[in-house]
Amino acid sequence: MKFRSRIKVFEHQYLKIGEEGFEQTHFDRLVYYNELHENKYFTAGHRKIKFTNYVGVLQVGNLTIEILPKADNSSDYDKWTHALLTMLFICRKISVRSLTEAYVKIRSASILDIIFESFLEEVEYLISTGLVKGYRFKSSNKTTLKGRILFNQHLMKNIVHREQFFIRYESYDYNIVWNKILKKALVIMLGILHNATLRSRTEKLLWYFDDIDSRRINEKTFLNLRYNRKTEGYRKSIKLAELIILSYSPDIQFGRNNVLAVLFDMNSLFEEYVYRILKKEEQVYHKINLKIEAQLSKFFWNKRKIRPDIILEYGEVDTRKVIIDTKWKMLTDYTPSDDDLRQMYAYNLYFDCEKSVLLYPMTNLVNQEPVYYEPALAVAKEHACQLIFADLFDNSGNARKSIAVDLLRSVLG
């Protein structure tokens, strides 16, 4: 087997052909994959690619590329690997028994292996509790009559074999969409896994899915899923399976450089992470009736909607509102863009807020006091915008224990 390379880069960083095992064949395959996805993951230049705001892991053939977030001036790969794992765990993108255990493993395993192990653990749990059976309709030739005869097919297939009936009937077995999805993800993993332990576990699990068909699983399959009491236990494993299946692109021409790209928009991940850590503190502030909601929207023009990231409502008597809009970018000074300030201005008006907050990751800047917008004739109420910088992680990439409380204190004043 060809030597397996592993590269770590930061978002918005370049990777050139010839660096750390990145070859022309990898470059060509990734460029093709990126074109299929509207060139959103990176931009291609002459013998190099520049990553965008997507973080996670790319596996192309024998090469694994980990793309890490970065919100400081250091080049500490370990810190930001741990920070990414923390965000993925809090946002429920991965399901591991222990983040500490995951941190230890990441030194010898890739982020992709952690995702695979999360999925295997979920499937092993389902096997131990029992896979779900379900009803489905089957059509085939039978010597006994049950269900209903499909006359057109019956006449075509059984002119000679009059002892048979082509029928459609109901069957109760394991060959249902939930198990098909799990098998599809396991099959993909078996074809690309390099870790011998994970590969062995995958092979053992596939034995339980031997009679299950997994051919036609695509994005539409996941959109049509509806969980019920019996299938609720599948939710975590299905989310991980969806990540694996929809991220996979086989190399049809040569079969050597299959691509698996498990990538996350860092802007969306930062927004969700902030929302989840704040939401956990909601009950602590029950005395002021704190309520935290994400992505509430309002119509503002011709059926178009305006939607802030996070809205905080609080107050023992009169309800007050604060909007938080997360921005995963580094400010070099205390001057946000005009577009961001206009956006906050509109949020204040449409959601009747006294203040909105532009929330950035902390670099070398400190929180600012709210600055009020200049009064306008059509707007009687004063309203402001505040810049806040969140120091999310310590030097090891662990989440700061007091970060949510510190943020709420800054936001609520």
Q: Residue 125 — pLDDT band, cuts 50, 70, 90?
A: very high
Tens-place pLDDT, residues 129-157? 999 987 665 565 655 556 566 556 655 66
Report how far residue 96's alpha carbon sits from residue 99's, in angstroms, rounded to the nearest whole number: 7
Contact 358, 336 (CB under 8 A): yes
β-pairing verdict for 63-68 and 14-16: unpaired
**Amino acid in the structure at residue 186:** L
Average pLDDT, the chain: 87
Tens-place pLDDT, residues 62-115? 899 999 998 887 788 989 999 999 999 999 888 776 666 666 666 667 888 889
Q: What is the pLDDT, as a whole number, of residue 1? A: 34
Tens-place pLDDT, residues 310-333? 999 999 888 899 999 999 998 888
Residue 13, Cβ neighbours under 10 Å: how many?
A: 15
- Residue 192 confidence (pLDDT) above 70: yes
**Amino acid in the structure at residue 362:** M
Residue 360: which of 335, 342, 382 has the closest Cα? 335
Burial classification of residue 28, based on how many CB atoms lie within 10 Å of its CB (0-12 exposed, 13-18 middle, 19 or more buried): middle
Tens-place pLDDT, residues 259-268? 999 999 999 9
